[in-house]
Structure 1
Amino acid sequence: MMLKPVYRVPHPLAGNKVQLTVFDRAAIDTYVPIAFAYPAPAPSNEALKEGLLRAIAPYPHLLGRFAVDGHGRRFLHLNNEGVLVIEVDVPADLADVLATGGGMTPVVAGFYPTVPEESVGAALLQVKLSRYRCGGLLLGVISHHHIADGTAASSFYCAWAAAVREGKDFDVPSPFIDRAATAVPRSTPKLVFDHRSIEFKRSSSQAHAVLPMEKIKNITVHFPAEFIAELKSRVGARCSTFQCLLAHVWKKVTAARGLSPDEFTRVRVAINCRGRASPPVPMDFFGNMVLWAFPRLQVRDLLGLSYGAVVGGIHEAVARIDGEYIQSYVDFGGVADANGEELAATATVGTMLCPDIEVDSWLGFTAHQLDFGTGPPSAFLPWLPVEGMMVFVPSRTAKGSVDLFMALAEDHVAAFNEIRYSLD
């Protein structure tokens, strides 16, 4: 069914045709699937749908549709066409399904709505409510990445959970949704950095292979708080949980891939630019505002350097994504628009990033923020469609622990699992 909120007065942006920003176009052009498992007693479908209608009213972009203008460029039409919700009953117990659903198996693929082959005209947010005979629920969601980055999408899911948990009296906060305000080029553009080769087109020497989806395995690694504390002690200086874990996983993935010592490997580190822009953009901005830092090392150096040295390299690369870099990128987008140039993200579904990796962090969110009123989810099930892509998430099983979700080529999984906890 298609759900549409009924506005007492039209939304201020109702009917607008919104151009995608240069941040939107840098995001991978696909739907992002994610699922949350809720054991019985789980919230009812009716409560979830009523809460969804209340929560989504301040988010008109999720209710719109992609369309194409006369120049063949995609834009977002805020036409309130609604959200697709699918309801199914599953003759199985949730615990049994989760026990056999590790990795991107056909079972896990069924947790989400089917990703549309063509996004133009399709619902940009789609929900699947799978109710199991035990009373458990799998809440599967796909949303298009050109509408929101991970920070924005997570904020919406938290608002939805609060709307269900708190009931009809809950006042859903309105996010900052002025997309145009996040990408205002200078009157005289100043392109300080080579964004065409950094964020968009690659040279032939940088091109990555494409791997059949069945050869890409999604795996999960749990890092206990004690392991993280030991990692930080080896760094020998103050560092974040994200940076020390990234240094460790970068080392281990590189070793598992068996790369040549002379080869170079880099990490594409997602950076939330909201607070780094000048002037800053409100942290509740709903849309895309991510750029990437690219720490890069030769394989022999990465494997031979101390944890402290690798963390230092990551920190330096991240620090370079500052207000000047962000404004240069916005200016680049303005020049491309003025020239009628189409910009497309470099990564596509099935891309093999090896010898590189890409990482995002959702460590700022907790499972308790996704409590719909019957408790937080018992499992979090993302799907990563690009080999070498990974995300760090707070573990719901133990305070201070972290779960890593990662996509690896199947030929490298066994070797990685053998050394993933090694600190040698």
Structure 2
Amino acid sequence: MPDNAALREGLARALAYFPHLAGRFHSYEYGYPKVVLNDAGIRLKEAIAPSTLEEHLPFGPTASFLTLHPHPAEGVEVLLQVQLTRFSCGGLTLGLTSHHRIGDSSSICHFLFTWAKLVQGRDVGTLPFFGWSSVCAPRNPARVEFDHLGAEFRPKSGATRPRGNLEANLSKMCNQSFHFSKEFIAKLKGRVNGGDPSRRVSTFVSVLTHIWKKTTLARTLPDDELTQVRLVVNGRQRIKPPVPPEYYGNLVLWAYPKLTAGEVLRASYSHVAQVIREAIEKVDDGYFRSFMAFGEQLMGKGGAEIAVTLPEVGGFLNPDIMISSWLSLQFHELDFGGGVPPPFSRQGSPVEGLMILVPSCGEDGGVDVYLALEKSHAATMSQVMHTVD
């Protein structure tokens, strides 16, 4: 495993290729944020633990795990924070937090692999692509064809769910992690494809179908209550012509499959999966171009009067869920010179109903699920998550 000096040097060199991470947000007319590439730097924290790394494995959403991760409140203006924790055995954990507005998961994954290559003395390979103006140019003439003021944005004056006391809300949540083996995922795919192995189904849709069913069950929602999934759609594969995978920035929007709780619970896996696929297919090139045109229309005072629809810290999404998939990313193959990481995990979620899917480091083809639910529902979730009705 490389020492901290080598990691620091590689980090500094990697930032030269990803200057946005070392920049700062500034506001210009009407309060719009912009990133100033001023090389103001990131926040790097180095810590020493008297225990061995093995004593902390496997990682779970616990208080001790959170100490291995930089706390966002410690560097509010900084867009990237990194914590290196060295253990008595020589083992190392790398904790990272970044501002999603300047880089989505694909971009941060590219940055981490560039850093790892530089630490090993290897060529950086593919450089990030910063062609924002060419990728995000609206159609001419620009056309807004969808209701973005309601999907991605809301009026600032609009009603929002009362959040209440932040600490009290967080105390009502329980962070959980679940492992889906390769065999279990094959069983889910069998339910989705109706037992027809010639019908190709994705791991993501199969796992999401199952999670949506089990979350609805654990929450004991009334049959007639509408529940929806807010899921991330990567524009790199949806925009035409396709955007290079090395595009740096935030190029994701959301799809919103909807069903009543009764439909989620009693419909077949195949039907629920089809509803999810149809919602994803709607977020196509036309939808992204419409969103870009909507952004052009907001230039000026009007844009300052809206806010994004993302949940706030301490918020509850029930009866809905929000899910992000990192299954196509290769975090579990990240190697700084000491081998691939035994575990790859994420910090506990501060939003009820928020879920993340990551490839399992311990099993090829396995998936790890991280989620937060109300404590009153978490116990049921533990009992039903690995059951297939």
With normalisation by structure 2, the TM-score equals 0.91
Task: Report what 2:2 is aligned to.
Answer: 43
Quick check: 1:345 aligned with 2:302?
no
Q: Does the CA contact (< 8 Å) of 2:357 and 2:370 recur in 1?
A: yes
Say which of 27, 32, 46 aligns to 1:73: 32
Deviation digits for residues 215-249 of structure 1 (CA, Å, limit 9, x no counterpart): 22221110011111111111224210100110000
Quick check: 1:360 aligned with 2:324?
yes
Quick check: 1:219 aligned with 2:183?
no
Say which of 133, 153, 156 aligns to 1:200: 153
- 1:70 to partner: Cα distance: 4.6
Quick check: 1:392 aligned with 2:357?
yes
- 1:73 to partner: Cα distance: 2.4
Task: Report what 2:339 is aligned to.
Answer: 375
Could you tell me which runs of 5 or more consecutive residues in structure 2 were left unpaired when the two chains were aligned: none
- 1:80 to partner: Cα distance: 0.9
SS where residue 184 of structure 2 aligns? helix
Say which of 202, 207, 228 aligns to 2:185: 228
Structure with greater helix share of residues: 2
Task: Report what 1:136 is aligned to.
Answer: 91
Deviation digits for residues 61-98 of structure 1 (CA, Å, limit 9, x no counterpart): 01111112253222110001122211111122222234
Q: Does the CA contact (< 8 Å) of 2:236 and 2:251 recur in 1?
A: yes
- 1:138 to partner: Cα distance: 1.4
Q: Partner letter of residue 21 of structure 2?
A: L
Flag as ranges the 4+ runs of structure 1 deviating above 6 A: 202-206
- 1:180 to partner: Cα distance: 3.0
| In structure 1, C-alpha distance between the alignment counterparts of 2:188 and 2:50, rounded to whole Å | 44
Q: Does the CA contact (< 8 Å) of 1:354 and 1:387 recur in 2?
A: yes
Deviation digits for residues 325-374 of structure 1 (CA, Å, limit 9, x no counterpart): 11111101110114441243222212211111111111112355311111
Q: Does the CA contact (< 8 Å) of 1:55 and 1:172 recur in 2?
A: no
With normalisation by structure 1, the TM-score equals 0.84
| In structure 2, C-alpha distance between the alignment counterparts of 1:46 and 1:203, rounded to whole Å | 46
| In structure 1, C-alpha distance between the alignment counterparts of 2:220 and 2:154, rounded to whole Å | 27
Equivalent pairs counted in the alignment come to: 377
| Alignment of structure 1 residues 251-400 onto 2, 5 Å | 251-342=213-304, 343-346=306-309, 347-383=311-347, 384-400=349-365
Q: Does the CA contact (< 8 Å) of 2:357 and 2:369 recur in 1?
A: yes
Could you tell me which runs of 5 or more consecutive residues in structure 1 were left unpaired when the two chains were aligned: 1-41
Deviation digits for residues 172-192 of structure 1 (CA, Å, limit 9, x no counterpart): 532111333332223433111
Between the aligned residues of both structures, percent identity stands at 41
| Alignment of structure 1 residues 12-91 onto 2, 5 Å | 42-91=1-50
Greater displacement, 380-389 / 183-192: 183-192
Task: Report what 2:370 is aligned to.
Answer: 405
Task: Report what 2:60 is aligned to.
Answer: 102
| In structure 1, C-alpha distance between the alignment counterparts of 2:145 and 2:331, rounded to whole Å | 40
Greater displacement, 182-191 / 147-156: 182-191
| In structure 1, C-alpha distance between the alignment counterparts of 2:159 and 2:218, rounded to whole Å | 21
- 1:56 to partner: Cα distance: 2.1
RMSD value, Cα: 2.1
| Alignment of structure 1 residues 121-160 onto 2, 5 Å | 122-160=77-115
Task: Report what 1:248 is aligned to.
Answer: 210
| 1:340–1:78 Cα change, 3 Å | farther
Q: Does the CA contact (< 8 Å) of 1:161 and 1:369 recur in 2?
A: no
| 1:203–1:51 Cα change, 3 Å | closer
Task: Report what 1:416 is aligned to.
Answer: 381
| In structure 2, C-alpha distance between the alignment counterparts of 1:376 and 1:287, rounded to whole Å | 26
| 1:244–1:205 Cα change, 3 Å | farther
